[in-house]
Amino acid sequence: MEPNPSLSSKSLSKKVVTEDQDNAKAIQWEDFEQELARLWSLSSALNEAKQKKLLLQQKLESLIKVEAESLNWSNELDEMRFKLESRKLVMGNMSMHSKVVEENVKMQEEQLSIKIRSLLVAGTSLSVASKRLQEANRLLAGERGYVHLRNLQKLLRVRQQYMVSQVSLLYPVKVMIGVAAEQELESFTNSSRAENSAGSKLLDHGSLTISGLHLTMLPFKKMSFFTDKNEVQRSATALGYATHAISLIASFLEVPLRYPLRLGGSRSYIHDYAPSIEPTSSGLTSDSSLSTNLKPIEFPLFLEGQDTTREAYAVFLLNKDLEQLLNFIGINSLGPRHVLANLKELIRTILSPEYVHS
């Protein structure tokens, strides 16, 4: 059944006229079918374009979504690469540090091995020393040990006492009180200042003599043409006696005197090895060569000529030898000018009972 062209054309024309009256276009009837077919084709093309648009939109949305996910993955991948590079840098630093630590450990191991070897050697030496110490303790505790040594020391000091007592008998040092009476000075201790002052007071009441001769220092201080020659000779003889006594006691105690003596009775001498002139910087040599090249200077223990300086210095050195002997037995000197007092104190200390048991 064919449509009524007059009806359809009327309705279509009405529709076209109502939709767009301003753009209304009169179509001839013979062109109506052609125009209608064109419109149907345009409509179908439009629908097809819409469908394609929809498909393209869906594809674009999926692509945009994929692209967004790809971008996210790319960002995450870049972040992971950055972290990986950071980890690689940290690993490189740790590797370098581990190498340094490994080298330090090797060096410490070498040093430790050296110390262990040294410790082993020291342990061996310590073991040997311990055995020697045990052997020494065994010998010390034996019959010929410490007790035997103490007995020998006691016998030696008893013998020293006997020899010094013979010297005291040969050269007795006494104190002369007044002009007639003689009294032996019993003590010149120097354990305190009070005792020293007591000894000084005792000396003020008289003067010490050795073998009955006074040792006065006046001729050594003031020498003139009118000086008594006999007094000078007596002082020189007293110094000779004191020198001989000091030399004997030093040999008994086995003490090498710092200032050696050359005995000659009233013409004795004392040696001083100290240089009289200080060497210059250009002439300095080693201590050994200096000591071997030094020649001792002799000072007379008697007056010779008018110059008393050398004689006074000789008496000073003699008293230094006495001080050395007193310090050797643990006693202090009574002073630099008390030759006979120091000699008396030296003999008294050695002859005391405490000397044997000290």
- Reported as a single tens digit per residue, the pLDDT across 60-90 is 888 899 989 989 999 999 999 999 999 999 9
Closest by CA to 244, choosing from 211, 219, 217, is: 211
**Is there a domain that residue 13 lies in?**
no
Query: Other CB atoms closer than 10 Å to residue 268's CB: what's the count?
Result: 22
Q: Distance between CA 349 and CA 346 in Å, rounded?
A: 5
CA 285 → CA 48, 280, 281, 288, 291, distances in Å? 125, 10, 9, 8, 10
**Is there a domain that residue 41 lies in?**
no
**Is there a domain that residue 336 lies in?**
yes
Please answer whether residues 318 and 342 qualify as being in contact, where contact means their C-beta atoms are separated by less than 8 angstroms: no
Check: pTM over 0.85? Answer yes or no: no
Give the confidence band of 15 by pLDDT, cuts at 50, 70, 90: very low
**Is there a domain that residue 102 lies in?**
no
Instruction: Provide the phi-psi class of 196: left if phi over 0, else alpha when psi is between -120 and 50, else beta.
Output: alpha
CA 334 → CA 116, 134, 313, 330, 338, distances in Å? 58, 45, 18, 13, 7
Q: Where are the alpha helices (DSSP H) in 206-258?
A: 218-221, 229-253
Token pair of 280 as six digits = 């210059």
* CB burial of residue 260 (10 Å; 0-12, 13-18, 19+): middle
Instruction: Using a pLDDT cut of 90, give the percent of the chain over it.
Output: 35
Token pair of 286 as six digits = 């080693």
Q: Which helix (H) or strand (E) holds 47?
A: helix 29-141
pLDDT at 214 over 50: yes
**Is there a domain that residue 173 lies in?**
yes
Q: What is residue 200's predicted lDDT score, i.e. its pLDDT?
A: 42
Please answer whether residues 314 and 236 qualify as being in contact, where contact means their C-beta atoms are separated by less than 8 angstroms: no
pLDDT digits (tens, 9 = 90+) for 105-157: 999 999 999 999 999 999 999 999 999 998 888 777 766 667 777 888 889 98
Q: Please report how many Cα atoms fall inside a 13 Å half-sphere around the Cα of residue 53, on the Cβ side.
A: 6
Q: What is residue 162's predicted lDDT score, i.e. its pLDDT?
A: 93
Please answer whether residues 247 and 261 qualify as being in contact, where contact means their C-beta atoms are separated by less than 8 angstroms: yes
Which range of residues forms the domain containing residue 325? Answer: 146-275+288-357
* Gap between the terminal Cα atoms of the chain: 165
Token pair of 150 as six digits = 């103490």
Strand partners, 113: none
Determine which of 181-185, 210-214, 285-289 has the lowest per-residue pLDDT on average: 181-185
Please count the structural domains in the chain. 1
Please answer whether residues 178 and 334 qualify as being in contact, where contact means their C-beta atoms are separated by less than 8 angstroms: no
Q: What is residue 127's predicted lDDT score, i.e. its pLDDT?
A: 93
Q: Distance between CA 321 and CA 256 in Å, rounded?
A: 9
**CA 43 to the chain's CA centroid:** 111
**Is there a domain that residue 306 lies in?**
yes
Closest by CA to 346, choosing from 210, 147, 219, 212, is: 210
Q: Please report how many Cα atoms fall inside a 13 Å half-sphere around the Cα of residue 57, on the Cβ side.
A: 6
Arithmetic mean of pLDDT over the chain: 77
| CATH number, domain with residue 169 | 1.10.418
Query: Other CB atoms closer than 10 Å to residue 215's CB: what's the count?
Result: 23
**Is there a domain that residue 164 lies in?**
yes
Give the confidence band of 206 by pLDDT, cuts at 50, 70, 90: very low
pLDDT digits (tens, 9 = 90+) for 265-286: 888 899 998 755 544 444 444 4
Q: What is residue 163's predicted lDDT score, i.e. its pLDDT?
A: 94
CA 217 → CA 16, 51, 222, 234, 356, distances in Å? 169, 150, 9, 11, 35
**Is there a domain that residue 103 lies in?**
no
Decide which of 339 and 196 is more confident: 339
